[in-house]
Chains A and B, each alone.
Chain A
Protein backbone atom coordinates (compact mmCIF):
# COMPACT_ATOMS: atom_id res chain seq x y z
CA UNK A 1 0.00 0.00 0.00
CA UNK A 2 1.31 3.41 -0.94
CA UNK A 3 -0.63 6.27 0.57
CA UNK A 4 2.05 8.93 -0.12
CA UNK A 5 0.51 9.82 -3.46
CA UNK A 6 -2.90 10.02 -1.78
CA UNK A 7 -1.54 12.32 0.93
CA UNK A 8 -0.09 14.60 -1.73
CA UNK A 9 -3.38 14.67 -3.58
CA UNK A 10 -5.58 15.04 -0.54
CA UNK A 11 -6.55 18.64 -1.46
CA UNK A 12 -7.77 17.23 -4.79
CA UNK A 13 -9.93 14.72 -2.94
CA UNK A 14 -11.45 17.44 -0.77
CA UNK A 15 -12.16 19.55 -3.86
CA UNK A 16 -13.81 16.48 -5.40
CA UNK A 17 -15.91 15.93 -2.29
CA UNK A 18 -17.00 19.57 -2.46
CA UNK A 19 -18.01 19.12 -6.12
CA UNK A 20 -19.98 16.01 -5.17
CA UNK A 21 -21.78 17.90 -2.40
CA UNK A 22 -22.53 20.81 -4.76
CA UNK A 23 -23.98 18.45 -7.38
CA UNK A 24 -26.04 16.77 -4.67
CA UNK A 25 -27.35 20.06 -3.26
CA UNK A 26 -28.32 21.46 -6.68
CA UNK A 27 -30.00 18.22 -7.77
CA UNK A 28 -31.92 17.85 -4.50
CA UNK A 29 -33.06 21.48 -4.45
CA UNK A 30 -34.23 21.41 -8.08
CA UNK A 31 -35.83 18.00 -7.68
CA UNK A 32 -37.67 18.90 -4.49
CA UNK A 33 -39.02 22.22 -5.83
CA UNK A 34 -40.51 20.43 -8.85
CA UNK A 35 -41.61 17.34 -6.93
CA UNK A 36 -44.01 19.00 -4.47
CA UNK A 37 -46.47 20.40 -7.07
CA UNK A 38 -46.17 17.18 -9.10
CA UNK A 39 -46.98 15.14 -5.99
CA UNK A 40 -50.05 17.28 -5.32
CA UNK A 41 -51.21 16.73 -8.92
CA UNK A 42 -50.45 13.02 -8.67
CA UNK A 43 -52.48 12.50 -5.51
CA UNK A 44 -55.67 14.24 -6.69
CA UNK A 45 -58.09 11.60 -7.95
CA UNK A 46 -59.95 13.87 -10.39
CA UNK A 47 -57.00 15.78 -11.84
CA UNK A 48 -56.19 15.54 -15.56
CA UNK A 49 -52.46 15.73 -14.83
CA UNK A 50 -52.52 12.49 -12.83
CA UNK A 51 -51.72 10.21 -15.78
CA UNK A 52 -48.86 12.30 -17.27
CA UNK A 53 -47.21 12.65 -13.85
CA UNK A 54 -47.51 8.91 -13.32
CA UNK A 55 -45.96 8.29 -16.75
CA UNK A 56 -43.08 10.65 -15.94
CA UNK A 57 -42.24 8.98 -12.64
CA UNK A 58 -42.72 5.50 -14.13
CA UNK A 59 -40.35 6.18 -17.03
CA UNK A 60 -37.67 7.80 -14.86
CA UNK A 61 -37.85 5.18 -12.13
CA UNK A 62 -37.78 2.35 -14.69
CA UNK A 63 -34.59 3.40 -16.49
CA UNK A 64 -30.98 3.69 -15.29
CA UNK A 65 -29.66 7.12 -14.29
CA UNK A 66 -26.75 6.56 -16.68
CA UNK A 67 -29.16 6.34 -19.65
CA UNK A 68 -30.89 9.53 -18.56
CA UNK A 69 -27.55 11.32 -18.23
CA UNK A 70 -26.39 10.18 -21.69
CA UNK A 71 -29.78 11.02 -23.22
CA UNK A 72 -29.38 14.62 -22.04
CA UNK A 73 -25.62 15.08 -22.49
CA UNK A 74 -25.01 13.19 -25.75
CA UNK A 75 -28.57 12.67 -27.02
CA UNK A 76 -29.84 16.24 -27.24
CA UNK A 77 -26.81 17.27 -29.32
CA UNK A 78 -28.23 15.21 -32.18
CA UNK A 79 -30.75 17.91 -33.02
CA UNK A 80 -29.66 21.03 -34.91
CA UNK A 81 -32.52 22.93 -33.27
CA UNK A 82 -30.91 22.32 -29.88
CA UNK A 83 -27.40 23.14 -31.09
CA UNK A 84 -28.57 26.49 -32.51
CA UNK A 85 -30.79 27.43 -29.59
CA UNK A 86 -29.95 29.89 -26.82
CA UNK A 87 -29.77 26.95 -24.38
CA UNK A 88 -26.82 25.35 -26.17
CA UNK A 89 -24.09 26.90 -23.98
CA UNK A 90 -25.80 25.21 -21.02
CA UNK A 91 -26.76 21.97 -22.73
CA UNK A 92 -23.21 21.45 -24.01
CA UNK A 93 -21.73 21.82 -20.52
CA UNK A 94 -21.24 18.56 -18.62
CA UNK A 95 -21.81 20.37 -15.32
CA UNK A 96 -25.27 21.64 -16.32
CA UNK A 97 -26.28 18.34 -17.95
CA UNK A 98 -25.26 16.34 -14.88
CA UNK A 99 -27.22 18.68 -12.59
CA UNK A 100 -30.25 18.50 -14.90
CA UNK A 101 -30.19 14.70 -15.19
CA UNK A 102 -29.74 14.24 -11.43
CA UNK A 103 -32.48 16.77 -10.63
CA UNK A 104 -34.96 15.09 -13.00
CA UNK A 105 -34.09 11.69 -11.57
CA UNK A 106 -34.47 12.63 -7.92
CA UNK A 107 -37.59 14.64 -8.79
CA UNK A 108 -39.36 11.46 -9.97
CA UNK A 109 -38.48 9.51 -6.82
CA UNK A 110 -39.31 12.45 -4.54
CA UNK A 111 -42.68 12.90 -6.27
CA UNK A 112 -43.60 9.32 -5.44
CA UNK A 113 -42.39 9.71 -1.84
CA UNK A 114 -44.37 12.92 -1.26
CA UNK A 115 -47.45 11.62 -3.11
CA UNK A 116 -47.36 8.50 -0.92
CA UNK A 117 -47.12 10.64 2.22
CA UNK A 118 -50.06 12.78 1.02
CA UNK A 119 -52.16 9.65 0.40
CA UNK A 120 -51.40 8.49 3.95
CA UNK A 121 -52.79 11.64 5.56
CA UNK A 122 -55.26 10.57 8.26
CA UNK A 123 -58.82 11.30 7.06
CA UNK A 124 -59.66 12.98 10.36
CA UNK A 125 -57.09 15.74 9.77
CA UNK A 126 -58.64 16.67 6.42
CA UNK A 127 -62.22 16.38 7.69
CA UNK A 128 -61.47 18.56 10.70
CA UNK A 129 -59.96 21.22 8.44
CA UNK A 130 -62.95 21.14 6.07
CA UNK A 131 -65.31 21.35 9.02
CA UNK A 132 -63.50 24.50 10.15
CA UNK A 133 -64.30 26.02 6.76
CA UNK A 134 -60.87 25.89 5.12
CA UNK A 135 -60.86 25.85 1.30
CA UNK A 136 -59.29 22.92 -0.58
CA UNK A 137 -56.13 24.96 -1.26
CA UNK A 138 -55.89 25.99 2.38
CA UNK A 139 -56.31 22.40 3.54
CA UNK A 140 -53.49 21.35 1.22
CA UNK A 141 -51.16 24.16 2.24
CA UNK A 142 -51.82 24.30 5.99
CA UNK A 143 -52.74 20.72 6.91
CA UNK A 144 -51.87 18.07 4.33
CA UNK A 145 -48.46 19.26 3.12
CA UNK A 146 -46.90 20.01 6.53
CA UNK A 147 -48.09 16.69 7.89
CA UNK A 148 -47.00 14.79 4.74
CA UNK A 149 -43.58 16.47 4.84
CA UNK A 150 -42.98 15.05 8.30
CA UNK A 151 -44.03 11.56 7.29
CA UNK A 152 -41.82 11.73 4.18
CA UNK A 153 -38.60 12.39 6.16
CA UNK A 154 -37.43 8.75 6.59
CA UNK A 155 -37.94 7.78 2.92
CA UNK A 156 -36.54 11.09 1.74
CA UNK A 157 -33.42 10.41 3.78
CA UNK A 158 -32.94 7.17 1.84
CA UNK A 159 -33.45 9.00 -1.44
CA UNK A 160 -30.80 11.58 -0.50
CA UNK A 161 -28.27 8.80 0.18
CA UNK A 162 -29.12 7.11 -3.14
CA UNK A 163 -28.71 10.44 -4.94
CA UNK A 164 -25.33 10.98 -3.26
CA UNK A 165 -24.25 7.65 -4.73
CA UNK A 166 -25.85 8.57 -8.06
CA UNK A 167 -23.69 11.68 -8.35
CA UNK A 168 -20.68 9.40 -8.82
CA UNK A 169 -21.85 9.07 -12.44
CA UNK A 170 -20.80 12.70 -12.98
CA UNK A 171 -17.26 11.35 -13.39
CA UNK A 172 -18.43 9.62 -16.58
CA UNK A 173 -19.09 12.98 -18.27
CA UNK A 174 -15.59 14.24 -17.32
CA UNK A 175 -16.52 16.07 -14.10
CA UNK A 176 -13.96 15.88 -11.28
CA UNK A 177 -16.25 14.88 -8.46
CA UNK A 178 -15.01 12.52 -5.73
CA UNK A 179 -15.14 9.51 -8.07
CA UNK A 180 -13.62 11.56 -10.89
CA UNK A 181 -10.66 12.52 -8.70
CA UNK A 182 -10.15 8.88 -7.68
CA UNK A 183 -10.15 7.78 -11.33
CA UNK A 184 -7.71 10.57 -12.17
CA UNK A 185 -5.34 9.65 -9.32
CA UNK A 186 -5.52 5.96 -10.29
CA UNK A 187 -4.67 6.65 -13.92
CA UNK A 188 -1.74 8.92 -13.00
CA UNK A 189 -0.13 6.77 -10.26
CA UNK A 190 -1.62 3.32 -10.97
CA UNK A 191 -2.67 2.75 -7.37
CA UNK A 192 -6.26 1.44 -7.73
CA UNK A 193 -6.68 0.22 -4.15
CA UNK A 194 -5.50 3.40 -2.45
CA UNK A 195 -7.27 5.72 -4.92
CA UNK A 196 -10.72 4.11 -4.75
CA UNK A 197 -10.60 3.14 -1.07
CA UNK A 198 -9.90 6.78 -0.17
CA UNK A 199 -12.88 7.90 -2.26
CA UNK A 200 -15.03 5.16 -0.75
CA UNK A 201 -14.05 6.21 2.78
CA UNK A 202 -15.01 9.83 2.04
CA UNK A 203 -18.36 8.73 0.56
CA UNK A 204 -18.94 6.61 3.65
CA UNK A 205 -18.19 9.59 5.90
CA UNK A 206 -20.63 11.81 3.95
CA UNK A 207 -23.27 9.05 4.01
CA UNK A 208 -22.94 8.59 7.78
CA UNK A 209 -23.14 12.36 8.32
CA UNK A 210 -26.33 12.51 6.22
CA UNK A 211 -27.82 9.54 8.09
CA UNK A 212 -27.08 11.33 11.38
CA UNK A 213 -28.66 14.52 10.04
CA UNK A 214 -31.86 12.72 9.04
CA UNK A 215 -32.04 10.89 12.37
CA UNK A 216 -31.83 14.27 14.09
CA UNK A 217 -34.57 15.59 11.79
CA UNK A 218 -36.77 12.60 12.65
CA UNK A 219 -36.24 13.16 16.38
CA UNK A 220 -37.12 16.83 15.94
CA UNK A 221 -40.16 16.59 13.65
CA UNK A 222 -41.42 13.05 14.10
CA UNK A 223 -41.15 12.97 17.90
CA UNK A 224 -44.94 12.62 18.19
CA UNK A 225 -44.81 9.34 16.25
CA UNK A 226 -41.94 7.76 18.18
CA UNK A 227 -42.77 4.95 20.63
CA UNK A 228 -43.33 6.34 24.13
CA UNK A 229 -40.36 5.98 26.47
Chain B
Protein backbone atom coordinates (compact mmCIF):
# COMPACT_ATOMS: atom_id res chain seq x y z
CA UNK B 1 0.00 0.00 0.00
CA UNK B 2 2.78 2.37 0.94
CA UNK B 3 4.60 1.55 -2.24
CA UNK B 4 1.52 2.35 -4.19
CA UNK B 5 1.24 5.83 -2.74
CA UNK B 6 4.89 6.45 -3.31
CA UNK B 7 4.73 5.58 -6.98
CA UNK B 8 1.60 7.61 -7.49
CA UNK B 9 3.31 10.98 -7.21
CA UNK B 10 6.54 10.69 -9.11
CA UNK B 11 5.94 14.00 -10.84
CA UNK B 12 7.42 15.78 -7.88
CA UNK B 13 10.73 13.98 -8.30
CA UNK B 14 13.65 15.46 -10.15
CA UNK B 15 15.14 13.84 -13.23
CA UNK B 16 18.07 12.51 -11.28
CA UNK B 17 15.86 10.99 -8.57
CA UNK B 18 13.75 9.23 -11.17
CA UNK B 19 16.83 7.97 -12.94
CA UNK B 20 18.27 6.65 -9.71
CA UNK B 21 14.96 4.99 -8.92
CA UNK B 22 14.99 3.28 -12.29
CA UNK B 23 18.56 2.11 -11.95
CA UNK B 24 17.79 0.71 -8.54
CA UNK B 25 14.48 -1.02 -9.25
CA UNK B 26 14.59 -1.59 -13.01
CA UNK B 27 10.97 -0.49 -13.13
CA UNK B 28 10.34 0.93 -16.60
CA UNK B 29 7.62 3.19 -15.28
CA UNK B 30 10.20 5.51 -13.73
CA UNK B 31 12.05 5.81 -16.98
CA UNK B 32 8.77 6.28 -18.80
CA UNK B 33 7.79 9.22 -16.63
CA UNK B 34 11.21 10.71 -17.08
CA UNK B 35 11.13 10.31 -20.84
CA UNK B 36 7.63 11.64 -21.14
CA UNK B 37 8.81 14.98 -19.73
CA UNK B 38 11.09 15.53 -22.67
CA UNK B 39 9.12 13.65 -25.26
CA UNK B 40 7.71 16.70 -27.06
CA UNK B 41 11.20 18.12 -27.35
CA UNK B 42 12.66 14.85 -28.59
CA UNK B 43 9.84 14.66 -31.09
CA UNK B 44 10.62 18.19 -32.25
CA UNK B 45 14.27 17.35 -32.76
CA UNK B 46 13.29 14.27 -34.76
CA UNK B 47 10.96 16.36 -36.90
CA UNK B 48 13.77 18.74 -37.63
CA UNK B 49 16.12 16.01 -38.74
CA UNK B 50 13.78 13.64 -40.55
CA UNK B 51 11.36 16.22 -41.92
CA UNK B 52 8.75 13.48 -41.75
CA UNK B 53 5.96 13.03 -39.22
CA UNK B 54 5.63 9.24 -39.33
CA UNK B 55 9.35 8.58 -39.11
CA UNK B 56 9.67 11.00 -36.21
CA UNK B 57 6.95 9.23 -34.30
CA UNK B 58 8.67 5.89 -34.76
CA UNK B 59 11.99 7.44 -33.83
CA UNK B 60 10.57 8.75 -30.55
CA UNK B 61 9.68 5.21 -29.56
CA UNK B 62 12.95 3.80 -30.85
CA UNK B 63 14.88 6.36 -28.82
CA UNK B 64 13.11 5.18 -25.71
CA UNK B 65 14.24 1.63 -26.49
CA UNK B 66 17.77 2.82 -26.96
CA UNK B 67 17.49 4.76 -23.75
CA UNK B 68 16.57 1.68 -21.73
CA UNK B 69 19.58 -0.10 -23.17
CA UNK B 70 22.13 2.66 -22.81
CA UNK B 71 21.11 4.26 -19.58
CA UNK B 72 22.96 1.61 -17.60
CA UNK B 73 26.12 1.77 -19.65
CA UNK B 74 26.87 5.41 -19.00
CA UNK B 75 27.54 7.57 -16.04
CA UNK B 76 24.93 10.26 -16.53
CA UNK B 77 25.35 13.57 -14.85
CA UNK B 78 22.67 15.60 -16.54
CA UNK B 79 19.93 13.42 -17.95
CA UNK B 80 18.52 16.20 -20.08
CA UNK B 81 21.75 16.97 -21.89
CA UNK B 82 22.54 13.31 -22.32
CA UNK B 83 19.09 12.61 -23.76
CA UNK B 84 19.48 15.46 -26.23
CA UNK B 85 22.73 14.01 -27.54
CA UNK B 86 21.30 10.51 -27.64
CA UNK B 87 18.17 11.58 -29.50
CA UNK B 88 20.06 13.71 -31.96
CA UNK B 89 22.60 11.01 -32.71
CA UNK B 90 19.92 8.40 -33.10
CA UNK B 91 18.04 10.49 -35.64
CA UNK B 92 21.17 11.42 -37.56
CA UNK B 93 22.24 7.78 -37.72
CA UNK B 94 18.85 6.72 -39.00
CA UNK B 95 18.70 9.56 -41.44
CA UNK B 96 22.13 8.81 -42.85
CA UNK B 97 21.33 5.12 -43.11
CA UNK B 98 18.43 5.95 -45.38
CA UNK B 99 20.34 8.54 -47.40
CA UNK B 100 23.58 6.68 -47.85
CA UNK B 101 22.78 4.52 -50.83
CA UNK B 102 21.63 7.19 -53.27
CA UNK B 103 23.75 10.08 -52.05
CA UNK B 104 26.84 8.65 -50.45
CA UNK B 105 29.15 11.38 -51.62
CA UNK B 106 27.05 14.06 -49.96
CA UNK B 107 28.10 13.11 -46.45
CA UNK B 108 30.08 16.29 -45.65
CA UNK B 109 27.22 18.50 -46.69
CA UNK B 110 24.84 16.54 -44.54
CA UNK B 111 27.09 17.18 -41.63
CA UNK B 112 27.11 20.85 -42.39
CA UNK B 113 23.38 20.87 -42.64
CA UNK B 114 22.96 19.67 -39.10
CA UNK B 115 26.03 20.88 -37.34
CA UNK B 116 25.63 24.52 -38.29
CA UNK B 117 21.96 25.10 -37.89
CA UNK B 118 21.24 28.61 -38.93
CA UNK B 119 20.23 30.47 -35.83
CA UNK B 120 16.82 31.97 -35.90
CA UNK B 121 17.47 35.61 -35.12
CA UNK B 122 14.87 37.23 -33.01
CA UNK B 123 12.15 38.53 -35.20
CA UNK B 124 11.04 41.99 -34.28
CA UNK B 125 8.86 44.19 -36.37
CA UNK B 126 11.34 46.75 -37.63
CA UNK B 127 10.84 50.40 -36.89
CA UNK B 128 11.34 51.13 -40.55
CA UNK B 129 7.64 51.25 -41.23
CA UNK B 130 7.70 52.06 -44.97
CA UNK B 131 10.01 49.14 -45.75
CA UNK B 132 7.82 46.84 -43.76
CA UNK B 133 4.66 48.00 -45.51
CA UNK B 134 6.36 47.39 -48.81
CA UNK B 135 7.32 43.86 -47.88
CA UNK B 136 3.94 43.09 -46.37
CA UNK B 137 2.37 43.99 -49.67
CA UNK B 138 4.53 41.40 -51.37
CA UNK B 139 3.18 38.56 -49.25
CA UNK B 140 0.21 36.64 -50.51
CA UNK B 141 -3.16 37.63 -49.11
CA UNK B 142 -3.48 34.92 -46.52
CA UNK B 143 0.02 35.37 -45.15
CA UNK B 144 -0.46 39.11 -45.07
CA UNK B 145 -3.71 38.89 -43.16
CA UNK B 146 -2.44 36.37 -40.66
CA UNK B 147 0.86 38.13 -40.02
CA UNK B 148 -0.69 41.52 -39.51
CA UNK B 149 -3.41 40.13 -37.28
CA UNK B 150 -0.81 38.36 -35.18
CA UNK B 151 1.71 41.21 -34.91
CA UNK B 152 -0.42 44.32 -35.10
CA UNK B 153 -3.71 43.28 -33.55
CA UNK B 154 -2.12 40.84 -31.09
CA UNK B 155 -4.59 38.04 -31.78
CA UNK B 156 -3.79 34.48 -30.81
CA UNK B 157 -3.55 31.73 -33.44
CA UNK B 158 -6.88 30.38 -32.38
CA UNK B 159 -8.63 33.73 -32.61
CA UNK B 160 -7.27 34.24 -36.10
CA UNK B 161 -8.36 30.79 -37.18
CA UNK B 162 -11.85 31.49 -35.85
CA UNK B 163 -12.10 34.92 -37.44
CA UNK B 164 -10.91 33.74 -40.85
CA UNK B 165 -12.50 30.30 -40.46
CA UNK B 166 -9.20 28.71 -41.37
CA UNK B 167 -7.71 25.52 -40.00
CA UNK B 168 -5.45 26.18 -37.01
CA UNK B 169 -2.54 24.42 -38.66
CA UNK B 170 -2.95 26.59 -41.73
CA UNK B 171 -2.82 29.75 -39.63
CA UNK B 172 0.35 28.58 -37.93
CA UNK B 173 1.82 27.78 -41.28
CA UNK B 174 0.85 31.13 -42.86
CA UNK B 175 2.40 33.06 -40.02
CA UNK B 176 5.53 30.95 -40.11
CA UNK B 177 5.99 31.33 -43.84
CA UNK B 178 4.90 34.95 -43.90
CA UNK B 179 7.46 35.73 -41.25
CA UNK B 180 10.20 34.01 -43.21
CA UNK B 181 9.28 35.83 -46.41
CA UNK B 182 9.18 39.14 -44.58
CA UNK B 183 12.62 38.56 -43.18
CA UNK B 184 14.06 37.69 -46.57
CA UNK B 185 12.42 40.73 -48.11
CA UNK B 186 13.65 43.09 -45.40
CA UNK B 187 17.18 41.82 -45.67
CA UNK B 188 17.21 42.34 -49.39
CA UNK B 189 16.11 45.94 -48.90
CA UNK B 190 18.94 46.78 -46.55
A, B: real partners: no
Residues of A near any B CB (own CB < 8 A): none
B interface with A by C-beta (< 8 Å): none
